[in-house]
Structure 1
């Protein structure tokens, strides 16, 4: 997108995620290992979950899937920060971040995916939904939107599909129809967090900060456990010139994932803007532990040099 005040469409997991930026080079190769398990909220293993792994500093990555036991692994990967996007049709997508050491033991963990509320489809219709998601991921946005709309007509109780339809409009920077679609979800569930965030993002990109804040302010940071959602809300407040309001969202994102470099960076900026210099220094020092080599790391080092002279 040429104009993008908010980085990213809200990842509504119906298996829908953003695929841009995942290369197929071997720049990510190294001696590290990542192993994990994916379950539903009851603890049952989820087979066939797609995991897109992206190595931040080399800007490369690859895909894998969980086996029948919900297990997956990535071998011979480079050290540093990795972004991992988990997606399975019928479940909310999730993004985790981790810092891999090539010298240490394999990094392990369990990821829990939540069922998408308001989505009850037969196996055959789930297959059609998966096909629509593939169209979206392949950049065939108009075809994907038509497929989502057809599914919604045939299954009007699956109102959550309006998020996907809205995301198609958002992807094309057609924010007004995106807003109409997101509002249809709020008509059914006024507290649905992903719709509230999506509306805030759309209004932010329309340069209507007051309207964006109307939706962002309805979201309690303590009730959100998705670091990307927290990040998007925080960025919305920050870009509206409200770093003190943004602070709690970035704090929460870093509580959930101490290696979340984007959250740490903006947390430091918030402290810097409210002139809490000791907290800004500590936060930027933590940033360099998570991301020591990027172009942004150079900027952070400049912040630290400036702050330590004060």
Structure 2
């Protein structure tokens, strides 16, 4: 959070990043960037590059969508406009050095999902590498730098939340996940993650409330279904777990973890024949692994149990 209004002013005044001084001259130009409805777009990154000088600089739009370029040389300039959530725009313009240049008006098209620029992609790659290496504090700093540079990249709050989660700072993780929901209220994965923060804090009822927000019929990812089912299983809600495991293996019939857990859920509920059927299905896909030996033991035990009960 910025601490004072004057700090914002300083940041805006310092927003032009000089790449080289060869582009300098006597010309000036200004422009405005709008969305498709004509609303001004703030914090659009404007990259200006002089072909004659082979150098350029960057600036950003203000709250009115306005940007300015002063003391630039004449000639052909390539100008790029970038903002997270909008299709990048590229134009070429002839800038006059000794007479007035007309204002430029640009409209940017909003698109679904996150537009990944090369700069953002590199920072994200680095953060993901650190996360996978279990260097969660360093990964956190990398993701945080992305949000500071690209404040519209709201989905990165999920990555930050995952770092907090791994560091067992569940309250902070939840705060980050909720920031994603503010922009994408139907994000099933994030609802699951919020539920997990409650489950790891031992607040099972709250966890179940969040899992229940996820519309079952709309979930078509077997991993998400499996994860929700496992959370229900871990808090002894076996009937609920069964529903999610069944759906997971319906979508992906060779999903070994899903088949294994579905068999365990049937076994726990005393559905012995159903458990046998699922475990035998598992063995058709995985006959030789260490887990297959365990599954084979379950089948033998259950068959004997059914035989002895007759």
**Alignment TM-score > 0.5, same fold:** yes
Q: CA deviation at 1:267?
A: 0.7
**What CA distance in whole angstroms lies between the structure 2 residues aligned with 1:272 and 1:138?**
37
The 3 A distance-change label for structure 1 pair 122 and 213 is same
Q: Which residue of 2 aligns with 1:279?
A: 274
Q: How high is the TM-score relative to the length of structure 2?
A: 0.58
Q: Which residue of 1 aligns with 2:188?
A: 193
**What CA distance in whole angstroms lies between the structure 1 residues aligned with 2:218 and 2:112?**
16
Select the structure that is richer in helix.
2
1:176 aligns with 2:171: yes
Give the 3-state SS of the residue equivalent to 2:142 in structure 1.
Answer: helix
> Could you tell me which of 219, 231, 234 is aligned with 2:214?
219
> Could you tell me which of 142, 162, 178 is aligned with 1:167?
162
The structure whose RCO (Cα within 8 Å, separation 6+) is larger is 1
Q: CA deviation at 1:247?
A: 1.4
Give the 3-state SS of the residue equivalent to 1:217 in structure 2.
Answer: helix
Residue 118 of structure 1 contacts residue 159 of structure 1 at CA under 8 Å; is this kept in 2?
no
Q: Which residue of 1 aligns with 2:37?
A: none
Q: Which residue of 1 aligns with 2:263?
A: 268
- How does 1:1-310 map onto structure 2 within 5 Å? 118-309=113-304, 310=306
Q: How high is the TM-score relative to the length of structure 1?
A: 0.58
The 3 A distance-change label for structure 1 pair 263 and 153 is same
**What CA distance in whole angstroms lies between the structure 2 residues aligned with 1:293 and 1:260?**
16
Q: CA deviation at 1:159?
A: 1.0
Residue 133 of structure 1 contacts residue 144 of structure 1 at CA under 8 Å; is this kept in 2?
yes
Q: CA deviation at 1:276?
A: 2.4
**What CA distance in whole angstroms lies between the structure 2 residues aligned with 1:225 and 1:157?**
28
The 3 A distance-change label for structure 1 pair 177 and 260 is same
Task: Render the CA deviation track for 1:125-163: whole Å, top value 9, x for unaligned.
Answer: 222222222222233221211111121122222111111
**What CA distance in whole angstroms lies between the structure 2 residues aligned with 1:220 and 1:250?**
15
Q: CA deviation at 1:234?
A: 0.4
Residue 117 of structure 1 contacts residue 160 of structure 1 at CA under 8 Å; is this kept in 2?
no
**What CA distance in whole angstroms lies between the structure 2 residues aligned with 1:248 and 1:259?**
17
**What CA distance in whole angstroms lies between the structure 2 residues aligned with 1:172 and 1:294?**
33
Residue 222 of structure 1 contacts residue 252 of structure 1 at CA under 8 Å; is this kept in 2?
no
Q: Work out the number of aligned pairs and report it.
A: 196
Q: CA deviation at 1:118?
A: 4.7
Two-structure CA RMSD over aligned residues (Å): 2.1
Give the 3-state SS of the residue equivalent to 2:258 in structure 1.
Answer: helix
Q: CA deviation at 1:168?
A: 0.9
Give the 3-state SS of the residue equivalent to 2:198 in structure 1.
Answer: helix
**What CA distance in whole angstroms lies between the structure 2 residues aligned with 1:202 and 1:281?**
34
The 3 A distance-change label for structure 1 pair 150 and 263 is same
Give the 3-state SS of the residue equivalent to 1:293 in structure 2.
Answer: coil
**What CA distance in whole angstroms lies between the structure 2 residues aligned with 1:120 and 1:127?**
13
**What CA distance in whole angstroms lies between the structure 1 residues aligned with 2:180 and 2:288?**
42
Quick check: which has more Rg, 1 or 2? Answer: 2
**What CA distance in whole angstroms lies between the structure 1 residues aligned with 2:262 and 2:303?**
18
